[in-house]
Amino acid sequence: MKRRALLVSNSTLYGGGYLEHCQTQIQEFFGKEVKRVLFVPYALHDRDAYTKTARDKFKTLGYEVDSVHEAADPVQAVKKAEGIFIGGGNTFRLLKALYDNKLVTEIRKRVFDDGMPYMGSSAGTNVGTISINTTNDMPIVYPPTFSAIGLVPFNINPHYLDSDPNSRHMGETREQRITQFHEELNTPIVLGLREGCMLLVEGKTATLLGTTRARLFTPGKPPVEYDPGSDLSFLLDTERASVL
């Protein structure tokens, strides 16, 4: 299997600039073979400004950026891409635009068949999983389905937050919301990626990277914590993951 994906929880970590906390991992992921990265800015309204932000940052890392929204034919842009980066923003807006432009199937094909490296951040990470059902965003638009690109056989909750015992907020915690998700039938496991955390997928292996721990939620079982550097390859085994 040629699949390669870098699924990042967040684009900006407190105290640093855009993609600063994961820039080393980005360079290691795309390597020297990739010269140009295709950026997908669909998650934000101002696609030109968003593209400039990504283009400026990637240039400092040694990569040129083309934006899919500037392409005359988005499908052809994906077909020719050396690597792809889908940025964060509103997950519903992003997924709808991916379907509107007929890119979901093409991206999946390029990653699995050709080994095109896929990097996602926040909403871009959400759409790389089975579905966007565990996003934190408001449904400001309605995509044709919540099913996403499906590069991994589970869901992710980016920006995962632990409950604060000193908070007076009385709404559901993130853990409670994920538990509610698992109360429905046939829901997949959910990997909660705290900010500063990312998952590197290469073929049939998955490794937790970054500076923070991840929290794994399995229907009917207590959550499990994993430290950076943990081997999470078992999550890629669909049959095993479904019975954890």
Q: How many whole angstroms separate alpha carbon 79 and alpha carbon 242?
A: 32
Q: Is 159 a catalytic residue?
A: yes
Kindly state the tokens that stand for 145: 């389905």
Domains and CATH numbers, the chain: 4-241 (3.40.50.880)
**Active-site residue, from 9, 21, 131, 137:** 137
pTM above 0.85, yes or no: yes
- Work out whether the CA dihedral 50, 56, 60, 63 comes out positive or negative: positive
Q: What is the pLDDT of residues 94-138, one digit of tens each?
A: 999 999 999 999 999 999 999 999 999 999 999 999 999 999 999
% residues pLDDT > 70 (the chain):
96
**Active-site residue, from 159, 230, 233, 242:** 159
Q: How many whole angstroms separate alpha carbon 106 and alpha carbon 46?
A: 24
Q: What is the pLDDT of residues 5-53, one digit of tens each?
A: 999 999 999 999 999 999 999 999 999 999 999 999 999 999 999 999 9
Kindly state the tokens that stand for 126: 């959400």
**Active-site residue, from 67, 121, 122, 131:** 122
